[in-house]
Structure 1
Amino acid sequence: MTQPLNILVTGASRGIGAAIAAALAGHKVVGHSTKGEDGLVAADLAEPGAAQGLWETALERLGGRIDVVINNAGIFEAAPIDLDAAAWAAQWDRTMQVNLHAAADLCRLAVLHFKAQGGGRIVNVASRAGYRGDSPDHWHYAASKAGMVAMTKTIARAYAGEGIYAFTICPGFTVTGMVDDYISSRGGAAFLADIPLGRPASAEEVGETARWLAVDAPPSSTGAVIDVNGASFVR
């Protein structure tokens, strides 16, 4: 195994984030959640500026050095077009703040830190929606994830020469609990017909992808986008 790394994972209380933290066993991981349960760092990323406090606390817990940042925290909340204008705009602002602006703030802090220490890695968890779009009620979600993809590619191109590498994961539907119950809730056979693999991805599969990018992926793969969606969307 490589030398243990100091890693910050956002949105680590459940689902994909918890699976990422578990996959990184053997490394020193500081996780984040909105409420800070179970020893996680508390930060409400819907609040502008919250990323700064999260970064400072994580940096302190990790002894002044962070090697990898994994931006997994995100929300998926509907914004139907028949909402009144103020409510529609507010939902766009909230989604962009959590899914993109907070991740951008952490990426900025990470890049500045990595430049000073001679390198580091960023792994951003986006979505296939960033490429193929999403439902009529989720324009804003798809836009936030497309922005995350573009931001990550920009970071990769800008800082590779300084040993700073950036990657994106684009999951499709992901199961974190009972598979049969999840499939039934999504429409059963009709839902599965859109996934050539025949099942949604597991959180553990996404977690392992994040682990590989954070720890083992070769530097030449910086800027890569890894799809984890059972070929439900291919590029």
Structure 2
Amino acid sequence: MSVHVLVTGSSRGIGAAVVEALSGREARVIGHATSAAEGRIAADLADPAAADRLWDEALARLDGRIDVLVNNAGVFEAVADDADPDVWREAWDRAWRINLQAAADLCRRMVLHVRERGGEGRIVNVASRAAYRGDSPAHWHYAASKAGMVAMTKSIARGYANRGVLAFAICPGFVMTGMADEYLASRGGDKLLADIPLGRVAQPEEVASVAAYLALEAPASMTGAVLDVNGASFVR
């Protein structure tokens, strides 16, 4: 029986690589993006109701069963500390809604789904190195939202392991995706690379291979694990 998977933020970068990695492993995968395309459901996760609609549509397309949820969707948008207060708060609200609240809403649906049908369900949350190391002065909100995602993952793992829900998080550093390219250039790519002992940023396929392992192969005793993929730029 194939594994049924929902992957958010699947139009490019890590999410697209996760879909490809899982599709090559005989999984049935439904992706998500802000615009519709073949194999993807359109949803704007800044809308408070969008995550529940996304889950319902994915569940229908996957014949009433979702075995694995991969929360990858996120925004990485700068806001200056001296921005207008309304602009500042909107940046925080948007990061919180997309990076954390929507992921939380989908995690909740997975927990309830497993409770209703029995068996096992897996959650893989793509957080960030920033959850532990922090980020730039223009990205407090991003780091805070990803720290929340890690704490949420640990809470789910501790609270629901005995009810069949396994939860894992991945904390990538810089990954060569469209979201990171502009930031790398703006901060002087060579200088940033000097802070990565490996000497390069990760490729989306590297993060996807970790996500696929957690989704399909990781032993149940690993639940609650947070795995780093950052070229040793931050070692815990």
TM-score band, normalised by the shorter chain? over 0.9
Encode CA deviations 1:145-199: one digit per residue, 9 max, x unaligned. 000000000000001011210000000000148xx99976652432211001111
Contact 1:123–1:169 under 8 Å retained in 2: yes
Q: Distance in 1 between matches of 2:187 and 2:81?
A: 22
Return the offset for 1:39: 3.5
Q: Is 1:209 equivalent to 2:210 in the alignment? A: yes
Partner of 1:11: 9
Question: In 2 relative to 1, CA 155–133 (structure 1 residues): closer, same or farther, beyond 3 Å?
Answer: same
Q: SS at the partner of 1:37?
A: coil
Q: Which amino acid aligns with 2:228?
A: D
Matches within 5 A, 1:119-130: 119-130=120-131
Q: Distance in 2 between matches of 1:139 and 1:5?
A: 37
Q: Distance in 2 between matches of 1:226 and 1:56?
A: 29
Return the offset for 1:35: 1.0
**Structure 1 gap segments, 5+ residues each:** none
Encode CA deviations 1:91-127: one digit per residue, 9 max, x unaligned. 1001100000000000000000011222200000000
Q: Distance in 1 between matches of 2:16 and 2:190?
A: 28
Q: Which amino acid aligns with 2:5?
A: I
Question: In 2 relative to 1, CA 176–82 (structure 1 residues): closer, same or farther, beyond 3 Å?
Answer: closer
Partner of 2:62: 62
Partner of 1:152: 153
Q: Which amino acid aligns with 1:138?
A: H
Q: SS at the partner of 1:197?
A: coil
Give TM-score scaled by structure 1 length. Answer: 0.94
What is the number of residues matched between the two proteins?
232
Contact 1:128–1:227 under 8 Å retained in 2: yes
Q: SS at the partner of 1:38?
A: coil
Q: Distance in 2 between matches of 1:155 and 1:227?
A: 19
Q: Distance in 2 between matches of 1:187 and 1:89?
A: 28
Q: Distance in 2 between matches of 1:144 and 1:196?
A: 26
Q: Distance in 2 between matches of 1:152 and 1:217?
A: 16
Q: Which amino acid aligns with 1:94?
A: R
Q: Distance in 2 between matches of 1:43 and 1:184?
A: 30
Q: Displaced runs of 4+ in structure 1, greater than 3 A? A: 180-186
Partner of 2:228: 227
Q: Which amino acid aligns with 2:195?
A: D
Partner of 1:115: 115
- Percent identity over paired residues: 64
Contact 1:175–1:182 under 8 Å retained in 2: no
Q: Distance in 2 between matches of 1:206 and 1:41?
A: 22
Q: Which amino acid aligns with 1:83?
A: A
Question: In 2 relative to 1, CA 181–50 (structure 1 residues): closer, same or farther, beyond 3 Å?
Answer: closer
Question: In 2 relative to 1, CA 86–76 (structure 1 residues): closer, same or farther, beyond 3 Å?
Answer: same
Question: In 2 relative to 1, CA 183–102 (structure 1 residues): closer, same or farther, beyond 3 Å?
Answer: closer
**Structure 2 gap segments, 5+ residues each:** none
Coordinate RMSD, CA, aligned: 1.8
Q: Which amino acid aligns with 2:209?
A: E
Encode CA deviations 1:45-91: one digit per residue, 9 max, x unaligned. 00111101000000000000000000000000011111111110011
Q: Distance in 2 between matches of 1:208 and 1:125?
A: 12
